[in-house]
């Protein structure tokens, strides 16, 4: 998911948006430092986080699009989920969250999931 409230925080190029992203990167780096990473390493990890989240935001729907219930209704069975995101182990995930027998899942933003699957399978995390 996204650490900032919505896609606009990542995609807008005005001064306030840039400043918000810069402060967010500093915050994420500080969290990594509190977890024990050296400052230089924490900065690298924070840069990776913002890179991943920006890519995900670019493939997220807008606030207006999220208000349309029909545009956000995409029920999928496990075969459809595997086709949508071949690198993501839905069986493992659903079992881990206590839903091993769930039949269908509503994927509100299929393009987001496609992008996440493609991007995260190529980026070391």
Two tokens, residue 118: 């493609």
Residue 21 · residue 9 · CB < 8 Å: yes
What pLDDT does residue 70 have?
A: 93
Separation between Cα atoms, residue 112 and residue 5, nearest integer Å: 16
pLDDT at position 73: 97
* Average pLDDT, 10 consecutive residues per value, the chain (125 residues): 94 97 98 98 96 93 93 96 95 95 94 90 76
Dist CA 13 CA 24 (whole Å): 15
Q: Is the pTM of this model over 0.85?
A: no
Alpha-carbon dihedral sign for residues 124, 81, 10, 24:
negative
């Amino acid at each position: 998911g996204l650490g900032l409230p919505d896609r606009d925080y990542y995609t807008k190029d005005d001064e306030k948006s840039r400043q918000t992203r810069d402060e967010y990167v500093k915050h994420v780096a500080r969290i990594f430092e509190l977890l024990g990473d050296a400052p230089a390493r924490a900065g690298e990890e924070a840069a990776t986080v913002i890179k991943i989240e920006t890519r995900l935001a670019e493939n997220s729907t807008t606030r207006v699009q999220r208000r349309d219930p029909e545009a956000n209704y995409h029920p999928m069975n496990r075969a459809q989920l595997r086709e949508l995101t071949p690198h993501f182990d839905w069986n493992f995930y659903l079992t881990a969250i206590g839903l091993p027998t769930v039949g269908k899942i509503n994927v509100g933003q299929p393009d987001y999931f496609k992008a996440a699957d493609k991007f995260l399978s190529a980026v070391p995390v």
